[in-house]
Structure 1
């Protein structure tokens, strides 16, 4: 229903498809071309027809980029995918390299020759991204050539067409605010910034603003579309009308005009001729849009997507929905963990079976709309692959005396969830318990943190790593990402990471998921979602501080805890958390599941 276990990635096609693309580039007089894992909206989740990187290379991860030159080809992925990429890609055709260090920009500078022509699709690169490319071209003496008719599409003969997922109205009781009220605030923001209009390119911003949800991509209820929002007057939504029902059309037309995607260019031309500058977010807006506006004589100013911060700062209805969704989801996950304890010991459970069972427990709530991402169901060494996606080819049994990592989430109308638990199958080793406890210490440090207003994710990130660092260990991914309200499970702008620069605000939801990965052996991650609470006075202190409320409710495997490594305060936190899980989840369980929960949440 929700997840398939054949990712379609096939490295055997890599060399042949690379040769076809190089022939097409030569026909066009291009010496190279960039293939990002993105669509026209620069989103993480893209429709099948935008999976150009996967089609060309076999890599199915959510972030990456390939660079194809006459004499070299490379694929760049971040730390989540350094193991996966080697399994999915023909490394004889594409050299796998790290997206950040040394990074594709540095590699391209070394590889590009003076006079070379480098093609890029202006629909698939942001304004900021092309600015960086222009600097590389200037430094190397190469020329950039925009190719909106993507050469990959010319050699991809069976490319899927655009999606036509139905658009539905997001109920006001869970949205918390009307589309008209949100629009009024966004227009005030534009007027204050002296911008005549903005172009919204991120479908989650449009979904939030208009109180609608769609079904154009897997796992995230997005209506792929664009919107032009003036500082005064009615906005225009550019969307394929075949996606609209009578109800959703009437709902949208209360506040906005509707036009077909084919009218986007002319609509931009018209906006360019209006009064005032057009505000574009250079980090999320396709270069094609900026080029079209400037060609029509418009003036562009850089500015963040004005929906991003208010969308991330949940209102009271959204917060109530998140709590309700996590209570429901916590019961489903607890039932799954109880089932897993009963079944895995017999040796009859594998990664796919576990993932399907977890989906089943969520579906049994009667309120599951979708899973929020493909379940990461990793047994033993597969758990060490940070964003592992189980397939029929990689499926492993959950073996005795091993670890099983399951990272999963759900989409409910009232909230989006994301939880990771690492479970002992049989008897864990001393190293497993030590590593798990070091990760748990980092998790608790985040959960119990107090911090002043203005604190960013980069400042908090260190707390999650401190205990690991003291042991000479670390993890190569961020500690936390923002989460939407029946929207994207990965939502900005807040994040807990070395690169997290946006200050936390009350109402933001962020994940807390430190980890440790021992290649070839096991992976460990503990993830809860946290709600940023308003400033509160600290007893005996002089300043009110922000803190987190843990939303996620499910047992943390106490069999993996080395109590000797915990401080009294850390031990008290875990006991209090488990007491809360027992009190709030317990009434939703019965029979053997209730007995299991009592044991799983017993005080240390």
Structure 2
């Protein structure tokens, strides 16, 4: 069934009228950019911030829309090509990022804007990095990027949802592993090393992690709207005070040890620019550099004079990505319970489709119900990707009533799902066939599996970046002339965002990419997608660990991975003849671990039918 497209004709007319209204935008503009994120540049956003979705009808998590006097275009990456084609109406041109014939946003604007043309954007919604790059490019051609103080989408969004006001809660030390005042002490130590006296924290998960707090302002992400500014003697926390319980206030007044923080200074969320300006004015020392990331929004970045800027990755982002021992153990523990839930789901699904039709939505709902039974469950960590047949080729597919189809024994079924538990975050993908896969499907699946195993087995020296490892997962697909368009691995938070920077495993190299460090948690998820037919992805999470090697060249020390996801990989989909003896051993060892650990937990929970399914699925290949 075709997806009903949102009609955007009237909305675009209203937006273009505002662009030419000098009482709202002065001077008037020839184009308007609508990014995907919120003021914190979040990947997942609250309904009140889904401006790009509102104006374009495209619901994917990544993309950027631009409206000029006569055209409307949307850029997105390969994960969303098919989805965008289905959702955009005739007013929009889809720009497929990454393809050689697709112009960049800057190139397109250079061609579309008139001489001396101006394109506007809400400065809170574009990172300084992206702002500077686009502004510099346009200026070379006599055109300009300008701040528009009043968000034009908000003006025409008549039924815009309200900003969330849910209560914030404490993330206790038994799960955090380190008190917040110790984290601030460590942050100040890093600041001192860089001759910085101020650190601005904007990303929602960074503020939540720093203060050991969690919330629910953004679906699937236990975060809340806030900023923080840390100086050498104060910690400012900008938040809607209606969200603060007595427990949270008491938590923020607690200090210990040699911390210089007696308590946290709480100020209104909207006062962050005012406070930062005051701090800038008072920072007169030679070493009073203000640590501010280029990934912060342009509005905040612009408050700090160039001579006072220390432009580096957020120290909080880097510290957060390296899990402490308590967080690592929490990730292991929650993945065991999560695996029981998924194995319960597959036990049920296999039985049900033998005698009745099960839809993609029903399967997704049942998988969530299984997780809800597990201890410390809070929510899903993202919308479940429950996709049968050709829907599996849509990388971030979400079944809707319009697209919902039956899961059959005639085609591949892919489920990518995860959950938020108080002790950790999960994200796992399994691809299965309930009938008989054909030789080509097995060849694709096995090539993906070989890449998954190769990355899981990797040993690499300290200071290695994820981009150096990406080809390990792609090599077997490449040898067949196949590939996939998304990254191979992303960082994962500890009861935080399921997609977490700054670590990752991807093809492209970035100038600011940081090396992998012991304690980071990442995904291992190679895949293959054939439009109109099927999708294959195998995803585990693993933690970076020390590796012992026979030699130690240059005394660098070596690292590797330890998987924490323990869900059987369907043997029916594997062409054993394509595997080496070492790969067969890896799979059998992995399945023994699944049986021993997850099977034991299933029995402890009294799920004997689930235990029987695990035993069946973990027989030696």
* TM-score interval, normalised by the smaller of the two chains: over 0.9
Conserved in 2, the CA contact under 8 Å of 1:52 and 1:152?
Answer: yes
Superposition CA RMSD, Å = 1.6
Aligned counterparts of 2:61 and 2:550: Cα–Cα separation in 1: 41
Q: Residue in 1 aligned with 2:243?
A: 243
The answer for unaligned runs of 5 or more in structure 1 is 1-8
Q: Secondary structure in 2 aligned to 1:292?
A: coil
Aligned counterparts of 1:305 and 1:381: Cα–Cα separation in 2: 40
Q: Secondary structure in 1 aligned to 2:6?
A: helix
TM-score if structure 1 supplies the norm length? 0.95
Q: Residue in 1 aligned with 2:17?
A: 23
Q: Residue in 2 aligned with 1:569?
A: 582
Q: Deviations over 1:154-173 (max 9, x none)?
A: 11111112111211110101
TM-score if structure 2 supplies the norm length? 0.93
Q: Deviations over 1:347-393 (max 9, x none)?
A: 42110010001001101114210000000010110011001111111
| CA positional deviation for 1:198 | 1.5
Q: 1:582 aligns with which of 595, 603, 609?
A: 595
| CA positional deviation for 1:525 | 0.2
Q: What pairs with 1:337-486 in structure 2 (closer than 5 Å)?
A: 337-486=346-495
Conserved in 1, the CA contact under 8 Å of 2:6 and 2:87?
Answer: no
Aligned counterparts of 2:475 and 2:228: Cα–Cα separation in 1: 44
Conserved in 2, the CA contact under 8 Å of 1:10 and 1:58?
Answer: no
| CA positional deviation for 1:535 | 3.6
Q: Residue in 2 aligned with 1:4?
A: none
Q: Deviations over 1:71-110 (max 9, x none)?
A: 22100001100000011111x2110112344332332233
Q: Residue in 2 aligned with 1:3?
A: none
| CA positional deviation for 1:538 | 3.6
Aligned counterparts of 1:15 and 1:348: Cα–Cα separation in 2: 39
1:600 matched to 2:613? The reply is no
1:516 matched to 2:525? The reply is no
Q: Residue in 1 aligned with 2:44?
A: 45
| CA positional deviation for 1:540 | 10
| CA positional deviation for 1:16 | 2.0
Q: Deviations over 1:169-221 (max 9, x none)?
A: 10101111111110001011112111120110001111111111111000010
Q: Residue in 2 aligned with 1:175?
A: 176
Q: Residue in 1 aligned with 2:72?
A: 73
Q: Residue in 1 aligned with 2:497?
A: 488
Aligned counterparts of 2:276 and 2:612: Cα–Cα separation in 1: 62
Aligned counterparts of 2:611 and 2:160: Cα–Cα separation in 1: 50
Q: 1:277 aligns with which of 272, 289, 297?
A: 289
| CA positional deviation for 1:10 | 6.0
Conserved in 1, the CA contact under 8 Å of 2:421 and 2:495?
Answer: yes
Conserved in 1, the CA contact under 8 Å of 2:443 and 2:575?
Answer: yes
| CA positional deviation for 1:542 | 9.2
Aligned residues: 591
| CA positional deviation for 1:346 | 2.6
Q: 2:6 aligns with which of 8, 12, 24?
A: 12
Aligned counterparts of 2:571 and 2:431: Cα–Cα separation in 1: 10
Q: 2:271 aligns with which of 240, 248, 263?
A: 263
| CA positional deviation for 1:298 | 7.8
Aligned counterparts of 1:541 and 1:130: Cα–Cα separation in 2: 42
Q: Deviations over 1:51-85 (max 9, x none)?
A: 00000111111110001111221000011000000
Q: Deviations over 1:5-52 (max 9, x none)?
A: xxxx96332222112111111223211010000110001111111100
Q: Secondary structure in 2 aligned to 1:421?
A: strand
Q: Deviations over 1:292-351 (max 9, x none)?
A: 344xx9832212111011100000000110110111111111111111111123342110
Aligned counterparts of 2:381 and 2:6: Cα–Cα separation in 1: 30
Aligned counterparts of 1:298 and 1:248: Cα–Cα separation in 2: 37
Aligned counterparts of 2:270 and 2:524: Cα–Cα separation in 1: 42
| CA positional deviation for 1:539 | 7.9
Q: Residue in 1 aligned with 2:191?
A: 190
| CA positional deviation for 1:263 | 2.1
| CA positional deviation for 1:452 | 0.8
Q: Deviations over 1:113-162 (max 9, x none)?
A: 32111111100011111101211221221122211211111111111121
Q: 1:292 aligns with which of 292, 303, 318?
A: 303
Which stretch of structure 1 is more off in the superposition, 29-38 or 336-345? 336-345
Q: Residue in 1 aligned with 2:115?
A: 114
| CA positional deviation for 1:515 | 0.2
Change (3 A) 1:387 1:540: same
Q: Secondary structure in 2 aligned to 1:44?
A: coil
Aligned counterparts of 1:541 and 1:200: Cα–Cα separation in 2: 38
Q: Residue in 2 aligned with 1:252?
A: 252
